[in-house]
Amino acid sequence: MNRIVLGGLNGTNPLGFLAALGLLRLLEGKSNLARLGFLSDGSFHPFVEGFDGDLASLVSDNAALAKEKQAWHLEYKKQEKKGVKIVADLKAPPLVFRDFLSSCVERWCTGEAEAVAYAAAFGTNVAVDKTKNKNTKPTAFHFTAANQQFLGTVEAIRALVSHEWVKRSLFDGRTARPGLNLRWDPAAERNWALMANNPNDDGTSVDAPLEWLAFRGLPLFPSFPCGARIITTAVSGGGDDMALTWPLWSVPISLKTARSALQMIWTGASQDRAMRGVFAVCTSEIRRTSQGFGNFSPATVSS
């Protein structure tokens, strides 16, 4: 079976891993033979099998087709000092988020599964944050804050994706350009304490194709209510002590198998992991700044 190595991605980078999963989801929509694995030669590059088409076209076309507001898009009104503002974020009032969930379920009942897949990943109306408004507590992958809106940022990223950029990102390596990002790449961390200058003066950069693919992989990490809290698949801990843990496997697997693998606990003996085809386990801390932003730390890798 034809194997395509994605030399521009690294599975030990949270963004690279999420992007590989997002690509697998897109491939699954084209062929049930699509498989994903990672090279165990130290490069940690993902590879895909079961698809003989143009990967760059697949990704760029997917981004282009999502130009109109998709079923996963959540907008709501927010009262601010200067008036009412339309917000495209996940921290909606619980009643608004509940209505969003209901509409997604209605779509699911008619055969549209994408909306409910994203809704399950976005959050739950049960858990609320500690702000005075007690807004919905979103997925642990929600790293935006202040005036940066999660879904608004996704749309800004989507609009930048092009065939040429996808090809370079997948096969040549990091190709960041000026723009907003979801802060899923450890290199995007902009904590004042870790930099010599005010990071806001330098602007931000984005590898739009990888960020778009990572967002397309988000439904593989559903969130669940746990009492009054929310827990996100593959994320352990709580508060300011959280971490994402994920496996890297050398045996190419389907989307369904990948989904199951993400729901397992990978802190056991390496011998047990090897029996399952897993050659490495990565852990990345989730760092939160005083401004409310989040970032992944560089991952630690155990074999």
Residue 33 in contact with residue 256, Cβ under 8 Å?
no
Give the closest residue to 292 by CA, choosing from 84, 153, 149: 149
Q: What is the pLDDT of residues 134-152, one digit of tens each?
A: 888 999 999 988 788 999 9
Residue 249 in contact with residue 279, Cβ under 8 Å?
yes
Largest CA distance in the chain: 60
204 pLDDT more than 70: yes
- Confidence grade of residue 272 (pLDDT, cut at 50, 70, 90): low
Beta strands in 16-88 (DSSP E): 35-38, 46-49, 76-80, 83-87
Q: What is the dihedral of CA 26, 29, 35, 37, to 10 degrees?
A: 20
Evaluate if pTM is beyond 0.85.
yes
Q: What is the pLDDT of residues 70-114, one digit of tens each?
A: 888 998 888 777 778 888 999 999 999 999 999 999 999 999 999
CA 215 to CA 144: how far, in whole Å? 14
Percent of the chain exceeding pLDDT 90 equals: 66
User: For the chain, give me the number of helices (H) and strands (E)?
Assistant: 9, 16
Angle, helices 208-217 vs 55-65, to 10°: value is 70
The two beta strands, 300-302 and 294-296, are: unpaired
- Confidence grade of residue 268 (pLDDT, cut at 50, 70, 90): low
- Average pLDDT on 245-262 reads 95
Lowest mean pLDDT among 111-120, 126-135, 210-219: 126-135
Q: How many CB atoms lie within 10 A of CB 177?
A: 10
- Average pLDDT on 151-180 reads 94
